[in-house]
Structure 1
Amino acid sequence: MKAIGMIETRGLTAAIEALDSMAKAANITLVDLKRVGAGLVTVIVEGSVSDVTAAVEVGKEAHIRTGGELVSFNVIARPHTELAKIL
């Protein structure tokens, strides 16, 4: 079963730094990078529960190097199939 992980930052550079670190730390796949507005950017990744959890933990710390702001983060293990429609 796959999991979905999300990290939301204020600033595109911080989001890209987080995604780069996440991809290097675990076997994950980028689902989407959404520009929400007002400088908010959400990175959405998928993979096994353990890989996504590890990637999100690494991504939470990575934004600090750019001076960006971590707004929120979450891991959803075994998301419902209907969730894929909005992603």
Structure 2
Amino acid sequence: MSQQEAVGVIETLGFPSILAAADAMVKGGRVTLVYFDKAEKGNFIVAIRGGISEVEPAMAAGLKAAEETFGGQVMSHYTVPNPPDNVVAVLPIDYTDKVQEFRS
């Protein structure tokens, strides 16, 4: 990697709020959506990757959008600046072929 990257993760209650968060995140910074899935009890999770300076404002935009969505509730969120290679290799946060075309 030429620049330090970060991973940002948001978990919400309900699909509309995670959709709003994902939309706001990719519009709020030069980031790539690398993971989406259902968590448990009606929760959804989304992860983004990009430069540290891009992930921070994207996460802020995503959290704001999720909280402003009717019925939306942020259950948890976390940003990991410069995750080690072994974390990227094990967790589903790597740039896959599926998302590669969306990277700038």
TM-score band, normalised by shorter chain: over 0.9
The number of equivalent residue pairs is 87
| Alignment pair present for 1:76 and 2:83 | no
Larger Rg: 2
Determine which of 12, 17, 25 is the counterpart of 2:20.
Answer: 17
User: What is the TM-score normalised by the length of structure 2?
Assistant: 0.79
Q: In proportion to residue count, which structure has more strand?
A: 1
| Alignment pair present for 1:40 and 2:43 | yes
Whole-angstrom distance in 1 between the partners of 2:13 and 2:69? 13
SS at match of 2:36: strand
Q: Once superposed, which parts of structure 1, at least 4 consecutive aligned residues long, lie more than 4 Å away?
A: none
Q: CA deviation at 1:76?
A: 0.4
The answer for unaligned runs of 5 or more in structure 2 is: 93-104
The answer for unaligned runs of 5 or more in structure 1 is: none
Whole-angstrom distance in 2 between the partners of 1:60 and 1:80? 25
User: What is the TM-score normalised by the length of structure 1?
Assistant: 0.93
| Greater RCO structure (CA 8 Å; 6+ sep) | 1
Determine which of 44, 58, 65 is the counterpart of 1:55.
Answer: 58
- The answer to whether the 8 A contact 2:32-2:50 is kept is yes
SS at match of 2:69: helix
For the aligned residues, what is the CA RMSD?
A: 1.0
